[in-house]
Chains A and B, each alone.
Chain A
Amino acid sequence: MQQLYYLINELIKSYHVFCKFDKVKADAILKRINEYRLQLVILAEQRQIFIEQLNVPINASGYKNDLFFTHDDIDSLVIRGIARLDDAVTVSLVQQGTRENLFTRQSVAWQHLFSDVQFLPDNGQQIPFDFPQEIYLEKSQTLDIGITNQTTIGFVFVHGANLKDDLAPNQQALLDEINLIEFDGTPNLPKPQLVPIQFQFANAVLDDPAIAVDGGDQIYSIKSERSVLLTEVSITDPSMRITLIDKGRNQEICNEVEALGVAGLEDNQFTVYYPLPYPHLLRKQDRIQFRALNGSTITGDLTDEDVLQTLCFRGFTI
């Protein structure tokens, strides 16, 4: 899907150019752009993204721990994992169902499967990477992540999406928005867009809830008159556990998950933005609700009180 987005960008450039001297070709390019956009948006509509946190308990012996990941009553896709584990930990990955699918023939160093969180010391790659192929889990199946040699508390963040049973989104509504004409008579083309959510903490105390800039307890992104395809997310301080809910869809993206497993750091040298599991369509006039509790279990750090913090999604209008 990322490749598709880059291709759309290149086509938009070509479209602007051909508008000047070859209107027929420009129209043909616009048609391709709109086809790809619709394809991207439908792919996004069919997926309900999630980020889940699996905790590895303290185990002084380092014996194997099995983390089981499954979603009840819905099929899902798992695209990547981000972990915080000891350097020498090995992992196995098995899809359990009527037929077992072994992704690891034997236990392998966890750095082969997962990227590391953006916190020093770095035990693995700090730029997230995807599995070679996404893992499709049917309702009845479970993903077994076996972890050996982890003696302290560890974390694995699973990025993926649930597949809605009703796979056909309202194509006409999407097409209507894609085919909009701007007020100056030009066609509506994708534009870059940031969706920031600003908040702060009243106290630098563990489990203190985040409050809005005006001091209220409800924190939302701002509404927009255009739908935005969110592709990436970043945050100014990761020392908190966050909950994200798309209120329009009433869809929970993550629930009290360590920010280090969800968002890149705004001032990080390796990568500022973490990709979302899949692009998420924030429909026009919808908002994302944000909740957070102060303090990170991974780092043991707290976010400062009375300092404005920002979580920011990046994407483009459809």
Chain B
Amino acid sequence: MIDIKNTKFISSEDRRTCLQRALYTQPYFYKIEIVIPIQDYAAGEFQGFAQAVGIDDDFYLTEIQANFGEAHEDIHSFFNINIYTGYNKSLYRYDASHKLPSGFITTEARFRTVVTNEVFDDRQRENSPFLIRKNDKIYFEASNAQALAQGDLPYTLTVVLKGFRLLEDVFIDNRQVDQLNASLARPTEWQLFAINMDVDGKKSYILENDNQPRLILGFSAINAVTDKTQVSSIDTTIIEVARRLRLTDNQIPLQFIAPRLTCLLDAHIYYLPVEYYFQPYSKLQFDATIVNPDLNNPTGAEVSILTRTI
């Protein structure tokens, strides 16, 4: 993970490399959803076949997160899964013909009230980059490993593929070059930016940078309440305004971007696959949809981003 480089001991050579890397890449998140229909609860058997997400640019996959632990709490079944590309190349298997229990492949998106509530390991786990080429697809299959508990509504299994893409056309003007060199000449300073996302329904939230060029390293989140039944669901996209870059292909639940309810445990932050270059005066825009369990008592989350100067 990028925290291995971006420490207080980072060398000037590595700072320059990180900057160059950040200028030519962007972190990117793809979301895959498989819905378990109500009739499958009755049958007790579910086979989710080959939900595909199209890759519109070369994508280097580094991590897969899912909500299978949450699903186990809700509908009492573990899941076996398979993930492969359109070229029938298995991402994480020698043998693509059998599904594997999900815990071998994915980590849980952190969304819990107490330690013992979730089943799966929800610390961030990153792998070597796996290239999925432009115009390919990622297919995802899932089937239940235990009988499904009866549900009243269709249940959604969510998987988020984290990685990075390369940028073809990178342009920085002379003023920015001066700013970057000035920043490189000084020691690095870290800074947190925070925003409250709390309004029920759809709304855009903006985080604005100051006059310093920065690198975004990761996201974290704190909920307004600690009772999970009262915690709002937040789905959001992330767009960086100055460079017009989207970091997500779709609205993604916040717990896949930042670990929620994190005061309780070790990891309070999800690091990005690569450092993101945050221009001076640029804005990070979150287009969020928030659903509160109790409309009379709306809750939200404080989302913060960890940055450092170049």
Contact = CB atoms under 8 A, between A and B. Distances in A.
Contacts of B78: 267
A114 to B, nearest CB: 20
Contact of B93 (A7, A10, A196, A316): A196
A310 B107 CA distance: 17
Nearest to A196: B100
A271 B118 CA distance: 12
A272 B125 CA distance: 10
B104 A17 contact: no
Interface in B79-122: 91-95, 98, 100-101, 103-105, 107, 115-116, 118-122
B4 interface: yes
Contacts of B229: none
Contact of B101 (A7, A18, A266): A266
A272 B107 CA distance: 9
Interface string B67-86: 00100100000100000000
Nearest to A22: B20
A198 B99 CA distance: 11
Interface string A184-198: 000001111111101
B1 interface: yes
B24 A6 contact: no
A17 B4 contact: no
Interface string A2-26: 0100111110111011101110000
B122 A269 contact: yes
Given A17-B21, A269-B115, A234 B128 contact: no
A196 B1 CA distance: 25
A308 to B, nearest CB: 9
Contact of B128 (A12, A21, A236, A272): A12
B121 A194 contact: no
Contacts of A310: 100-101, 104
Interface in B1-44: 1-2, 4-5, 17, 20-21, 24-25
A178 to B, nearest CB: 14
B17 A266 contact: no
Which of B24, B78, B107 has the most chain A CB atoms inside 10 A of its CB?
B24
Given A236-B101, A267-B78, A192 B127 contact: yes
Which of A192, A224, A268, A312 has the most chain B CB atoms inside 10 A of its CB?
A192
B66 interface: no
Interface string A214-225: 000000011010
Nearest to A221: B94
A193 B104 CA distance: 11
Interface residues of A, number: 40
Contacts of B2: 10
B92 A17 contact: no
B126 interface: yes
Nearest to B104: A312
Contacts of A18: 20-21
A194 B129 contact: no
A38 to B, nearest CB: 16
A23 B115 CA distance: 47
Nearest to B131: A16
Given A20-B166, A312-B100, A316-B128, A194 B105 contact: yes
A314 interface: yes
Given A10-B4, A196-B104, A267-B103, A17 B126 contact: no
A251 B235 CA distance: 50
Contacts of B93: 194, 196
B130 interface: yes
Contacts of B107: 272
A224 B120 CA distance: 29
A198 B131 contact: no
A271 B121 contact: yes
A214 B146 CA distance: 22
Contacts of A266: 101, 103-104
Contact of A272 (B72, B92, B98, B103): B103
A19 B185 CA distance: 26
A10 B273 CA distance: 9
B60 interface: yes
B1 A6 contact: yes
B144 to A, nearest CB: 13
Interface in A263-318: 266-272, 310, 312, 314, 316
A314 B128 CA distance: 12
B274 interface: yes
Nearest to A266: B103
Contacts of B5: 10
Interface in A28-69: none
Contacts of B105: 194
Contacts of B103: 234, 266-268, 272
A20 B57 CA distance: 14
B121 A191 contact: no
27 contacts: A6-B4, A8-B128, A10-B4, A13-B164, A13-B274, A18-B21, A20-B168, A192-B92, A194-B94, A194-B100, A194-B105, A196-B93, A196-B94, A196-B98, A222-B94, A224-B94, A236-B101, A266-B104, A267-B101, A267-B103, A268-B103, A269-B69, A269-B116, A271-B121, A271-B123, A310-B101, A312-B100
Interface of B: 1-2, 4-5, 17, 20-21, 24-25, 60, 62, 69, 72, 78, 91-95, 98, 100-101, 103-105, 107, 115-116, 118-123, 126-131, 164, 166, 168, 170, 273-274
Given A9-B62, A9-B126, A9-B127, 7 more contacts: A13-B273, A21-B24, A192-B130, A222-B95, A269-B115, A314-B104, A316-B128
